[in-house]
Structure 1
Amino acid sequence: MSPLPLHLLLPLLTILLHLPPSTAATWYFLRYNLPTTQSFLSLSGTMTIPKLPKAGTYYLWPGLQPTDNSGVYQNVLDGRSGTWWIGSGWCCANPELPWGSGFNVAQGDTVTFRNERGGSAWTSSLQKGSGGQSVTDSFALNGKTFNQVLFAIELTGVSWDFGALAFKDVVITSSGTDTKWCTNAPENYNSATNYAISGVSASVSNDVVTCKISSVTLQSPK
């Protein structure tokens, strides 16, 4: 079952298409946008799991958005059951794909995520802690050109009451040679989020940009 129900697809797409946001969800996100001549090849890092105050529609995720804004490819931390669950998937249509596998996590756990483009599909890997539970899933998304990386908080019927959302050891790769998308500050949607970023560096080899970020923290709402 997809952590992002189909009825949330329209609010997601209207936000990411820069249309007025739906009242169904409250959004906080940082976004890295590529030049039109480049595309993302991979996204990896480690997410620290915050507290979950109660069961509710908390969706916290890193993800990639394609040029056609047809959906989002993401690793979603889902709080609806009252226990955090994390899994990877594509939301939601065009194409319709089954959601990937996942596992439960608790406050203070760390989850390493990696999304990587391969010869015929994108592969997502998640691992709890060091040598803990892990899952790997493939998604037929090679027809998509991903030009946006997001670190996002999506809330419906709940508030930002779980503290900071922290990502560490983030590595993003793209085609091309332009590195400014990495070294410039990301877009802060609606200037809604207090955030901190540290340890940013970019390098180019064989027409591949490697962007390394020591930490990305969505600290609190403004």
Structure 2
Amino acid sequence: MLSPTSLLLGIAYLCSSVDAATWYFLRYNLPSTQSFLSFSGALAVPKLPKAGTYYLWPGLQPTDNSGVYQNVLDGRSGTWWIGSGWCCSNPSLPWGSGFNTVQGDSVRFENTRGASAWTSVLTKGSQTVTNSFALSSKTFNQVLFAIELTGVSWDFGPLVFSNVVIVSRLSSPKAWCTNAPENYNSATNYAISGVSASVSNNVVTCKINSVALQSPK
């Protein structure tokens, strides 16, 4: 999986493919001095038309654009597999564990910053995997909902996230939540519903009922 901002800058983070990816993503940005503290939600697993380099993911990217911390739905084997990890260097970290999943499943993802590491929890029904990544030194100021395709097209239908909660240190204003996200290259038809932001104990909690990447433009 590749880092979109780094790719746009012409720096390829080669995790599993050397070919150029086609990107569709929405991004919420904080000022470079602010950081996200947690990011959670549920991903509705779409159909997988065939084996191919389909990477569908929510993720966090830091101010230095050194990579991306992500929960990736991976279609290369012909069966969806989801796992968490950091792509790809600075630091070099092993990929986390995961599990197979199929169309119609709902997979909950929870990414939380701790004192020394970020922890990712993926849950499908009674199945749960937990992994920690030594990334607490990173200042994650970007949240992404991404579709990354290499050698395949967007032929799997909408990608829908629900019950999204994003927590950040207090930034002024808190409009990063209630304003529309960045739509990279205006490439994606999308719909967002049920957005609210609240402030307590010097943090912003952003709640979004649904984020749907509906189709390419």
Q: In the TM superposition, what whole-angstrom CA distance separates every residue of 1:175-194 from its partner, at most 9, and x where no partner exists?
A: 01431100000000000000
| Correspondent of 2:143 among 131, 143, 149 | 149
Native 8 Å contact 2:26 2:146 kept in 1: yes
Q: Secondary structure at the match of 1:182?
A: helix
Alignment of 1:101-112 (within 5 A): 101-112=97-108
TM-score by length of structure 2 reads 0.93
Native 8 Å contact 1:56 1:157 kept in 2: yes
Give 1:219's aligned residue.
214
- Which structure 2 segments of 5+ residues have no match? 12-17
Native 8 Å contact 1:28 1:193 kept in 2: yes
TM-score by length of structure 1 reads 0.91
Give 1:161's aligned residue.
155
Give the counterpart letter for 1:172 in structure 2.
I
Q: Secondary structure at the match of 1:13?
A: helix
CA-atom RMSD, angstroms? 1.6
Distance 1:18 1:218, change over 3 A: farther
Give the length in aligned residue pairs. 210
| Correspondent of 1:50 among 43, 46, 50 | 46
Query: 1:13 deviation in Å?
Result: 1.4
| Correspondent of 1:31 among 24, 27, 30 | 27
Percent identity, please: 78
Native 8 Å contact 2:195 2:208 kept in 1: yes
Distance 1:172 1:18, change over 3 A: farther
Give the counterpart letter for 1:52 in structure 2.
L
Give 2:187's aligned residue.
192
Native 8 Å contact 1:177 1:204 kept in 2: no
Q: In the TM superposition, what whole-angstrom CA distance separates every residue of 1:3-58 from its partner, at most 9, and x where no partner exists?
A: x3xxx56x76122x489xx9711000000000233100000000000000000000
Give the counterpart letter for 1:119 in structure 2.
A
Name segments (4+ residues, structure 1) moved above 3 Å. none
